[in-house]
Amino acid sequence: MRWCNHRLIGILLFIALSAALFLPVYNISFINKSFEEELLKNKEDEAERLSAYLMSMMPQGLKELSRQTIPKYLPPLAEELIRGFRLWKFKVFSPSGEILFSTDPNEIGEFNKHRHFQEIVAQGNRHSLIVSRDHSTMEGQKPALDIVEIYIPIMREGRFTGAFEMYYDITAKKNRIDTLAKRHTYILLTESFLSMLLIGLLYKSYRELITLRDRLTLEAVQRQQVEDNLNRAQEVAQIGSWYLDLVKNELTWSKETYRMFGVKEGTPITVEDFYKIAHPEDCDYIKSQWESALKGNAYDIEHRIIVNGETKWVNEKAEVLFDETGKPISGIGTVQDITKRKEAEDKIKRAYEELSDKNKELQRFHELTIDRELRMIRLKIEVNELREQLGMPKKYEIDEEIK
């Protein structure tokens, strides 16, 4: 029996030692990699949506991207994309690999001769890679930050007509992933050490072995809960975007904007349709601010919209584009749902008003109380004076400072 116990303890100790070595390696090589794969997929999907949005604003009959077909609004739009989507760089390629547009002007006119462009991207497949800081991208550059490099092919009727290349800055997100992975590794190392310590106590008796087994089972459940919590991703608030062609009076919305305004995706939208959704009391304000923006002023407003009978608050920011003569030709902007923030502000305002009313009531009560006390003191003074005139002693002792 003792031999069996020693053998069992030896086996458990060996397992614990193996786990102490294996789990941290597993955490670094698999869990951390899973986080990065999820991050990569998220950015690929975002790049697909952004590419679809960009292509939706290009001429429908476009057969092939070239220098002549690059829209004039693309440079300022690219700047907005860099700020709004945390892009490090943005490029547009022709089918031959020529760089038609880049946020780095020095690259325009160069050709992408790398195999991945012709063998993967030009065949209609997207291609992506996570690049750590100071490591080489697919094109041989070494950025001083962590990025996701993504190629999105542009296909028309099964034909490759060009490609977008986007470099997403993921430095902050990758740092958070690395921090979570390190914390997870420390937890696993600590739990492995505790497990070995508990197994050592099995030398005392078989009964302690049973107790220790139960404790290890409980710790295993808790460890699984910790892993499940660490694997949950944080939800990111979506921001919609729109583009207005002032010449054609055509309003283009992103998928998120359609959802926010309660309109079926793909429904043709005009400025008049937008005003039908805007709160009637806010329409004049919106129009006056937009007229001001058409004169070159900033457009950053908060207003209400009515969606399915529910009132929402949104924040809109936009930039108006002008032609060579100074005539406004288009506008591009973003819209964000701020309903919760507005509701919180209203609650604070109401609480402040209630507190002010209570303070006023308290002040009135305080004034009435002081007035009553002053009348009583005055009455006592008059009583004392009357008694002095009658040759009688004072009845009340009153502080001279009060008099």
Phi-psi category of residue 194: left, alpha or beta, with phi > 0 → left and psi -120 to 50 → alpha? alpha
Rounded-to-10 torsion of CA 297, 301, 307, 309: -120
Lowest mean pLDDT among 194-203, 323-332, 390-399: 194-203
Q: Look at 112 and 203; give whichever has higher pLDDT.
A: 112
Place of tokens 């309903």: 339
pLDDT at 6: 57
pLDDT at 383: 77
pLDDT at 150: 94
Q: Mean pLDDT, to the nearest integer, of 310-326?
A: 93
Q: Is the pLDDT of residue 237 over 70?
A: no
Could you tell me which residues come within 8 angstroms of residue 198 by beta carbon, excluding any fewer than 6 positions away?
Answer: 212, 215, 216
Mean pLDDT, rounded, of the chain: 81
* pLDDT one-digit tens code per residue, 29-39: 666 677 778 88
Nearest CA among 98, 92, 53, 50 for reference residue 75: 92
- Six-digit token string for 395: 């009845």
pLDDT at 234: 32
pLDDT at 19: 63
Its sign, for the CA torsion 255, 258, 259, 265, is negative
φ/ψ of residue 368, rounded to 5:
-65, -40
Q: Is the pLDDT of residue 207 over 80?
A: no
How far apart CA 54 and CA 245 sit, in angstroms, is 14
Lowest mean pLDDT among 212-216, 298-302, 312-316: 212-216
Q: Look at 284 and 235; give whichever has higher pLDDT.
A: 284
pLDDT at 66: 82
Q: Look at 142 and 14; give whichever has higher pLDDT.
A: 142
Q: Is the pLDDT of residue 281 over 60?
A: yes
The CA-atom distances, in angstroms, between 402 and each of 5, 260, 385, 387, 397 are 92, 68, 16, 20, 11
* pLDDT one-digit tens code per residue, 36-64: 788 889 888 988 898 888 888 777 777 78
pLDDT at 16: 63
How far apart CA 340 and CA 346 sit, in angstroms, is 10
Its pTM stands at: 0.43
Residue 233: pLDDT band with limits 50, 70, 90: very low
* pLDDT one-digit tens code per residue, 361-397: 767 766 666 767 777 777 777 777 777 777 778 777 7
Domains of the chain: 64-173 (3.30.450.20), 240-337 (3.30.450.20)
Q: Look at 65 and 305; give whichever has higher pLDDT.
A: 305
Residue 77: pLDDT band with limits 50, 70, 90: confident
Per the CB < 8 A criterion, the answer to whether 208 and 202 are in contact is: yes
Which three-class secondary structure state does DSSP give residue 312?
strand
Instruction: Centre a 10 Å sphere on the Cβ of residue 160 and count the other Cβ atoms it contains.
Output: 16
Could you tell me which residues come within 8 angstroms of residue 122 by beta carbon, excluding any fewer than 6 positions away?
Answer: 95, 97, 153, 160, 163
How far apart CA 402 and CA 101 sit, in angstroms, is 86
Over pLDDT 70: what percentage of the chain?
A: 78
Q: Is the pLDDT of residue 263 over 60?
A: yes
pLDDT at 26: 61
Q: Is the pLDDT of residue 217 over 80?
A: no
Residue 75: pLDDT band with limits 50, 70, 90: confident
Q: Mean pLDDT, to the nearest integer, of 263-280?
A: 92
Residue ranges of E strands in 250-402: 250-253, 299-307, 310-322, 328-337
User: What does DSSP say about strands 310-322 and 328-337: parallel, antiparallel, or unpaired?
Assistant: antiparallel
Q: Is the pLDDT of residue 80 over 90?
A: no
Q: Is the pLDDT of residue 232 over 50?
A: no
Instruction: Centre a 10 Å sphere on the Cβ of residue 242 and count the other Cβ atoms it contains.
Output: 20
Most confident of 61-65, 155-159, 251-255: 251-255
Q: Is the pLDDT of residue 23 over 80?
A: no
Q: Mean pLDDT, to the nearest integer, of 210-223?
A: 72
